[in-house]
Structure 1
């Protein structure tokens, strides 16, 4: 009889990741340099099973990547290719990003940073997704291993990560998605609950909307020329590494509960837990208008539905969706 661990490894092998061999137990000291004991480096668990190619033709899973959003991490790589970008609160009221890829894979994504407990609940909406992260605190690692996802970190997949010598650690770790997925998983893997379609009627014309976290802020400015919202972070335009503006076709500002968790960072600061299961108010920005909405996610396995005050669906526009998970604006 197969053990739980064996069954989980078998599910991960069916996840559609590329053929590979067992990799080194840990990166060299230079890879771990500059990482904090809060989880941005070698986790000390040693080598884990490398991903392998799909054996039974199952569709590959979505790829989620935890991305640094400290000023020293900007400009990031790969955000312009993400289907969905989640903005989460972390220690000190700062923000961190989780980019989800399904339709296409960028050449590079990062800087990659550490995972948080609330990531596990957020990712349950996807079918055995890949989670790329730089590490996690020791007490969280068992929860990551038990979660219905496939961890991809420098310990398990050393050759999937590179360090940018032009940046200071820990803001210099980048993922090469083509080294963990042969092909983009496709839109079928994007089980967020969001649906493309016509905009709802009504709404308020908006040229610019700012969303505030305790120690971070995001501004979305409507561009008729782009037909999208231009993204700014902490008062500065957000760009790709090539200097192009980051844009969003739809912005979902989702009012959630952010509470204390049972975890702390290496400085002793409590790690916030963002609750994404439940219901609440939301604002949906698309086509230069702001639409009041409600969000609902009854269970962790479900996607998030958006409805008008009258209960009609609120569709998203074709293109990138940014979701800001905030407890107040």
Structure 2
């Protein structure tokens, strides 16, 4: 698929991050990746492709209760491998087209013999986007600087260390030469299946509440407000964040109340529980 077709819909996919699912396929080419806490202290991703859709992405996993609030503002397509019926029903109430493994869009998914089930469902991403290209294109989810690095009136920073739980530590390190942040998990370089290091132009960490109404399945509270940190261009700034409804985008503001602009490029959003921690270097 051609790069930067602005009229096509966004494709959001629930991506596995269990150790048997790594390295993932195509996540390095996502425009936005949201990392969320799931059961057992592990994390999963909602990865969003629009400007550069790979042929294949995955491994694809099941939906969780916060995912409608994450994907709702994006519109377009949400692909996942099923989930509890109550969570699937919640997602189907959004305006997104639900592409579910085992459903009518199963023709766009297959199981690779390179992984063990259930960590082996792969989505033919470009094919599913082409098939539903009549869906609306997404609106911008963040504000971006018109050119070059976004001016942050914060402080110089080498990166951030983020702890979701005892089982999940994330590390981002700024590379001035490459102009990006390089990602590690528990101190090990994070890569995709072809060996490419996962990097980001922007790393946004949002401190979030966890709703325990679903028992052992944590729900990240997205329709809320709180504090956060934006890292871009080698600088970090403390911010506040707000999301007013399921279908509203996340708004980041500085201490003066102005909306923060990010560097043009890909963004990782770390939805860090308040029980976790961040160390700004």
Alignment of 1:1-329 (within 5 A): 59-127=7-75, 129-156=76-103, 157-182=105-130, 189-191=137-139, 193-197=141-145, 199-214=150-165, 215-262=167-214, 270-328=216-274, 329=277
| CA deviation after TM superposition for structure 1 residue 126, in Å | 2.2
- Of the two, which has the highest radius of gyration? 1
1:240·1:246 contact (CA, 8 Å) conserved in 2? yes
Deviations 1:158-206 (A, max 9, x none): 2211211121111111100122111897xx8343531111534421211
- Match of 2:220, SS state, is strand
Which aligned segments of 4 or more residues in structure 1 are displaced greater than 4 angstroms?
A: none
2:191·2:198 contact (CA, 8 Å) conserved in 1? yes
1:77·1:240 contact (CA, 8 Å) conserved in 2? yes
Single out whichever of 173-182 and 189-198 deviates more from structure 2.
Answer: 189-198
| CA deviation after TM superposition for structure 1 residue 60, in Å | 4.1
CA distance in 2, matches of 1:246, 1:122: 21
- Paired residues in the alignment total 263
Tell me which protein shows more strand as a share of its residues.
2
| CA deviation after TM superposition for structure 1 residue 292, in Å | 0.8
Greater relative CO (CA pairs within 8 A, separation 6+) = 2
CA distance in 2, matches of 1:234, 1:189: 36
- Counterpart of 1:29 in structure 2 is none
Which residues of structure 2 form unaligned runs of 5+? 1-6
| CA deviation after TM superposition for structure 1 residue 223, in Å | 0.7
CA distance in 2, matches of 1:184, 1:256: 33
CA distance in 1, matches of 2:44, 2:99: 18
| CA deviation after TM superposition for structure 1 residue 155, in Å | 1.7
CA distance in 2, matches of 1:88, 1:310: 29
Which residues of structure 1 form unaligned runs of 5+? 1-58, 265-269
CA distance in 1, matches of 2:20, 2:92: 30
Q: Are residues 194 and 131 of structure 1, via their aligned partners in 2, closer, same or farther at CA, if it must alter by over 3 Å? A: same
2:60·2:119 contact (CA, 8 Å) conserved in 1? yes
CA distance in 2, matches of 1:301, 1:221: 32
Q: Are residues 81 and 73 of structure 1, via their aligned partners in 2, closer, same or farther at CA, if it must alter by over 3 Å? A: same
Deviations 1:33-72 (A, max 9, x none): xxxxxxxxxxxxxxxxxxxxxxxxxx54311000000111
CA distance in 2, matches of 1:228, 1:140: 35
| CA deviation after TM superposition for structure 1 residue 236, in Å | 0.8
- Counterpart of 2:4 in structure 1 is none
Q: Are residues 288 and 274 of structure 1, via their aligned partners in 2, closer, same or farther at CA, if it must alter by over 3 Å? A: same
2:208·2:221 contact (CA, 8 Å) conserved in 1? yes
